[in-house]
A = this chain, B = another copy of it.
Amino acid sequence: MQETLAEWRPAIDDAIAEILPRRVDSAYLESFFGEPTFEYDPEGIQRALADPIWDLLDRGGKRWRAVLFLVFVEAFGEDPEDYLPYATIPEILHNGTIIVDDVEDEAETRRSEPALHHRFGQDVALNAGNAMYFIPLKIITNNPADLPPDRRLSAYEMLMYELNRTHLGQGMDICWHNEREVRATREQYLEMCACKTGCLGRIVARLAAIVTGQSETVERHAAAYAETVAVAFQIGDDVLDVENSLGRAGDFGKAFGNDIREGKKTLLVLHAIEESDPADAERLADIVAAEENTDDEIADALRIIEESGGIEYARERARELSDEALAHVDALDIDSHAAEQLRSFAEFVVDRDV
């Protein structure tokens, strides 16, 4: 998988630069955004869009959403090269959500550098992030692979469906984060993950199915695979944070219990609160809700989670979801090489070492 990612990376960045060049001029602006009524200011758009967007893109990122799209296209029997511009859609969208999320969370850093709103100002960052929600959607109008109208309409309808749900997921996440009380159920937590991160995965899979003209059944299995992998990934992340913290709890000076300190109501926390005796449940809820935590409190929270069987429970849910994802791959009726790639992709995503 790592090889496939590294191989495609330069071509993907070139494709992004076709959509939004590192250096914009009037000719580009007129061809991509249409004729001006009066006169564009290319220098202003350079500073407002191209500079911040490329600043973020050049910080890294494996472009795995674009690569997964290309893997799907190949699995569906088409030449990935022919659909390269479409591969940039989920990638640009994803990076747009990063900028906006960082403003929403008032994040300090992103990929070891100042968050975009700290480097470029909140106004520039936010407008650039929002522009990244619409710039990629124009690719479907530009129609690089000469798709028939019904596929273009399907692509737009799919994107509106999924992009609406990402805002539901983000809304639930923000709301729970701002509330002191712990109100969400475990199933609601998984829905939040399915919406917030799963939808971008679903866009990857469904877009590949739509542009190559697959059946609705194939599109549904591909989407379910991608969503399920994304949710499993999030659970894996939650488990890792607790496991690493338990390992480090005696190791003074190192950060541990980050999710608890940030007040995240993860699947493990929700499990522990539902399954522990009332005293422990209340204690855990208080620790998670507090603005600041002592190391002792964090250690106590981790103990309550561990004693509730939260780690085993979350691991089991992640395993179930992984099995589900693999079942969707089996249902896809694609050749064994492509199926292997999707399976290893799921493993890459779920079994990563932080």
Contact = CB atoms under 8 A, between A and B. Distances in A.
Interface of A: 29, 33-34, 36-41, 43-45, 47-49, 100, 103-106, 121-124, 126-128, 130-131, 133-135, 137-138, 140-141, 149-150, 152-153, 156-157, 160-161, 163-165, 167-168, 170-172, 174-178, 183-185, 187-188, 190-192, 194, 198, 227
8 contacts: A33-B164, A39-B187, A44-B172, A44-B175, A123-B174, A124-B175, A131-B168, A152-B157
Given A37-B227, A104-B126, A191-B37, A138 B150 contact: no
B103 A172 contact: no
Contacts of A141: 157, 160-161
A134 B190 CA distance: 23
Given A123-B105, A126-B100, A134-B164, A41 B172 contact: yes
Copies of this chain, how many? 2
Given A38-B194, A140-B157, A149-B153, 17 more contacts: A34-B161, A34-B165, A38-B187, A38-B190, A39-B191, A40-B168, A41-B175, A41-B185, A43-B183, A44-B184, A47-B175, A48-B171, A127-B167, A131-B164, A141-B157, A153-B153, A153-B156
A53 to B, nearest CB: 11
Contacts of A227: 37
